[in-house]
A = this chain, B = another copy of it.
Amino acid sequence: MAIQYPFRRKRNFKETDDLGFGTRIIGEKDRLIAKDGKFNVVRVGLKTWSPYQDLVEMTWVRFFGVVIAFFVVVNVVFALLLNWIGMDCLNGVQKGSWLENFEQAWFFSVQTFTTVGYGSINPSCISTNFVAATIALVGLMSAALATGLLFVRFSKPTSQLVFSKNAIITPYRDGTSFQFRIANMRNSRLINLDVKLTMSWVEPNESGTMSRKFARLKLEREKVVMLPLNWNIVHPIDEESPFWERSPEDLAAMNVEVIVLIEAFDEVFSQTIFANSSYCDEEFLHNVKWKQMYYPDPSGSGKTILDLARIDETMPIV
């Protein structure tokens, strides 16, 4: 059956364009936002170099690789310089081949850079003394930078909201609803959670060209003060909803993507955090309902147990 596009019926919902995506993206089969929240946009042209952002956001493995590489290379440079000045200007060196000299110069540089300074090798000329002073200063600055970076990396709020893998279209009160659920993986508190849902789909304009539309989805509840258990985020499907009277085949043809924006205050890190995700039409399940994720502690401690592994679990509506 031919898809009945919105332009042939009365719209009861208000279109919105506050996500900044514009209306001319017509890559119909693509997501605007990946499951982890990143944009599917590539920037070219005026690129700025932001070393801070890269150093903070790269993986731990890569970060330590950068640190070790920097450590090795800087001391190689200084070792070459010391070698060029001449090994006679260092006490305690056992002169040998160029490579042996270079090794000892490198170790001396490392001992100065890290300020260990055994003294088994030490500078005897003014030139090597100046180089040693420079190595020490560069080492101190590098340690200062590394302290800052290591600390920022270690203290960045890690993602702690887990989203259900699927969203479900399920009965709610007297009608239907679009739902997904979230929970906090950690006991640290998220305060004042604020959720915005936007639905995005593709449809033809009056002229016939395909255009991407956006509409905000009204929620049963947009704010929650705390998140001790899970939160089922519910969009009741009434006549004002873009979901109204859409079959699963309609939703697929419209290439629907529901974009989730969550803002909350993380009490441990004392920072506002943002968590984004999205649900594409292939991820919608119909005619199911949620399996409950929490239950009283059977051992009678009085506590409630929240089983995060069950967050995706649904069961058919009989």
Which residues from chain A sit less than 8 Å from chain B, CB to CB?
17-22, 24-27, 29-32, 38-48, 50, 52-53, 56-57, 67-68, 71, 91, 103, 107, 110-112, 114-120, 122-123, 126, 129, 132-133, 136-137, 139-141, 143-152, 154-155, 157-158, 160, 162, 185-189, 191, 196, 221, 223-229, 231, 261, 263, 265, 267-268, 270-272, 274, 292, 294, 296-297, 302-311
Taking a contact as CB atoms under 8 Å apart, the answer to whether A47 and B185 are in contact is: yes
A137 to B150, CA, bound (A): 13
A53 to B21, CA, bound (A): 36
Copies of the protein in its oligomer: 4
Taking a contact as CB atoms under 8 Å apart, the answer to whether A20 and B150 are in contact is: no
8 more contacts with CB within 8 A, not counting A20-B229, A41-B294, A107-B123, are A18-B223, A20-B227, A20-B228, A22-B229, A41-B304, A44-B309, A151-B151, A157-B270
Taking a contact as CB atoms under 8 Å apart, the answer to whether B261 and A225 are in contact is: yes
- In the A-B complex, list the 4 residue pairs whose CB atoms are closest, starting with the nearest: A148-B151, A45-B309, A45-B308, A116-B117
Taking a contact as CB atoms under 8 Å apart, the answer to whether B152 and A141 are in contact is: no
- Of B31, B103, B117, B296, the contact of A25 (CB 8 Å cutoff): B296
- Asked if A43 meets B272 with Cβ closer than 8 Å, knowing A119-B119, A303-B30, the reply is no
Taking a contact as CB atoms under 8 Å apart, the answer to whether B141 and A67 are in contact is: yes
A45: chain B residues at CB < 8 Å are: 306-311
Q: List 6 A-B contacts (CB under 8 A).
A: A41-B294, A45-B307, A46-B308, A48-B185, A116-B117, A116-B132
A133 to B150, CA, bound (A): 20
- Asked if A303 meets B268 with Cβ closer than 8 Å, knowing A120-B122, A148-B150, A151-B144, the reply is no
A199 to B53, CA, bound (A): 35
Which chain B residue lies CB-closest to A293? B45
- Asked if A110 meets B126 with Cβ closer than 8 Å, knowing A225-B18, A261-B225, the reply is no
Taking a contact as CB atoms under 8 Å apart, the answer to whether B50 and A158 are in contact is: yes
Taking a contact as CB atoms under 8 Å apart, the answer to whether A187 and B43 are in contact is: yes
Taking a contact as CB atoms under 8 Å apart, the answer to whether A114 and B137 are in contact is: yes
- Of B27, B71, B143, B231, the contact of A144 (CB 8 Å cutoff): B143
Minimum C-beta distance from A114 to chain B (A): 4
A272: chain B residues at CB < 8 Å are: 265, 270
- Of B30, B43, B148, B223, the contact of A154 (CB 8 Å cutoff): B148
- Asked if A44 meets B306 with Cβ closer than 8 Å, knowing A68-B137, A122-B118, A229-B20, the reply is yes
